[in-house]
Amino acid sequence: MVGVISTAALAAVGLSMQFMMIINVLITLYVVGGNALISRFIGQGRKRRASALLYSLIVFAIILSFFISIAGYFGSTWMYEVMGSSPEVVEQGSMYFKILSLGFVVIFIDNLLYNALSAAGDTKSSLYIKLLSACINAALNYVLIFGHFGFPAMGVEGAAIATVIAYTFNILSYYILIKKMNSKLNFLPLIRVKDLIRVWHVGWGAALDRLISSMSFLVFVGIITAYGTAELAGYQVGLRIEGIAFMPGFGFSIAAMALIGQNIGANNYDKAYNFGIICGRIAYVFMGSVGLVMILIPEYLVGFFTKDSLTIAVASKYLIFVGLAQIPLAIVFVYSSAIRGAGATKTTLKVNVLSLWFFRVLPSYIAYEMGYSIEAIFIIMNVETLIKAVIYWYIYQKRTWLYIKI
């Protein structure tokens, strides 16, 4: 729907997702460690301890989101300017991100509750909540972006408002689910500082990993931005479509993290290891299948987002290249999440820093400076994914990550 407004609007909203990767660094600080500890408590049958930790993390998330909202609101224009965006992209993007910043508190809590329930083994409830949320978001987008049913046409601002409302619906639904139903978790108003410290002990490595990775992605997107607005929009559209393939990998990475954490908590190390193998196999079958579709009909898929011929050409090339990399990407998704969920966040930190900066960003910058086309950047991206998949496969097979103490 944003693509109908203009190419600049599409690029602006797409670029905002790169900024949200930086915000996710802070979310990772408490979500990954919280996942690891909650899943172990559930595996040990300690529901009250897990529920107290969930309450403590909600309080922490609310406090943290307050300061990040202020920074995001007043720094939105500067962020787009730093990326070298055109004036129109800066204008559209700053309007969108200011409104999104005001809703950071619901975004922070939503991420926590979703991951906490997943760590406890309940993903079906989240499925139904997210389905309803997606319908609400789409309906509100239609109304607010284009100005239907008596509402003014708000463009990208309407898209931001719709997103915040959808996240608000999520947390209200999670609250009702946890309070009114027989959930594996509850809100126990007890703050255990010791458990929070254990969460941060695991979380800082994951957060630093995410920070360095996000910075590398921002630099990578900055290189693509230098090619032009159409190339940036094409990359963002391709990335959104690739998100369809991401979902099976993301889903089974969550499953691996929960099942491995619970079985480590119950001291079933062989079972924990085998669950990761099974999740990985299912993920790369699903992602490989979606990758094949992206290779065969890229123009058709891109046509849903934009009618700009140059944007369609760039996005189609992107989909063909990344379609070839979906199986290695599935291995990265599942094995890295399994290792991170077990508490070995320093290991994933080292792998991602080495891979993203030395095998993706640096070669991409050299290729750009040497005058190579955008296709060369996409090829470099695929090669880096393959290298990282091999590294994670090797680490997973060694099993040493299973015995990390939290």
Across residues 178-200, what is the average pLDDT? 79
Q: What's the pLDDT score for residue 182?
A: 58
Residue 183: which pLDDT band, with cuts at 50, 70 and 90? low
| Phi, psi (rounded to 5 degrees) for 228 | 140, 165
Greatest mean pLDDT among 70-79, 222-231, 385-394:
385-394
Range with the poorest average pLDDT among 251-265, 353-367, 372-386: 251-265
pLDDT tens, residue by residue, 39-70: 888 888 888 888 888 889 999 999 999 999 99
Q: What's the pLDDT score for residue 102?
A: 92
Across residues 64-77, what is the average pLDDT? 90
Return all residues near 130 (Cβ < 8 A) that are at least 6 apart. Answer: 170
Across residues 68-78, what is the average pLDDT? 88
Residue 307, pLDDT above cutoff 80: no
Cα 4 from Cα 1, distance rounded (Å): 5
Greatest mean pLDDT among 19-33, 173-187, 314-328:
314-328
Across residues 160-182, what is the average pLDDT? 88
Q: What's the pLDDT score for residue 87?
A: 81
Q: What's the pLDDT score for residue 284?
A: 86
Residue pair 85/15 in contact (Cβ under 8 Å)? The answer is: yes
pLDDT tens, residue by residue, 196-229: 888 888 778 778 887 888 788 778 888 888 888 7
Residue 171, pLDDT above cutoff 90: yes
What share of the chain in percent tops pLDDT 90? 29
Q: What's the pLDDT score for residue 181?
A: 61
Across residues 298-309, what is the average pLDDT? 83
Instruction: Give, as one character, the DSSP assignment of residue 358.
Output: I
Looking up tokens 């600049």 gives: 8
Cα 23 from Cα 219, distance rounded (Å): 16
Cα 130 from Cα 380, distance rounded (Å): 34
Return all residues near 373 (Cβ < 8 A) that are at least 6 apart. Answer: none
Tokens of 348: 């994933």
Q: What's the pLDDT score for residue 351?
A: 92
Residue 231: which pLDDT band, with cuts at 50, 70 and 90? confident
pLDDT tens, residue by residue, 109-129: 998 998 888 887 777 888 899
Q: What's the pLDDT score for residue 236?
A: 79
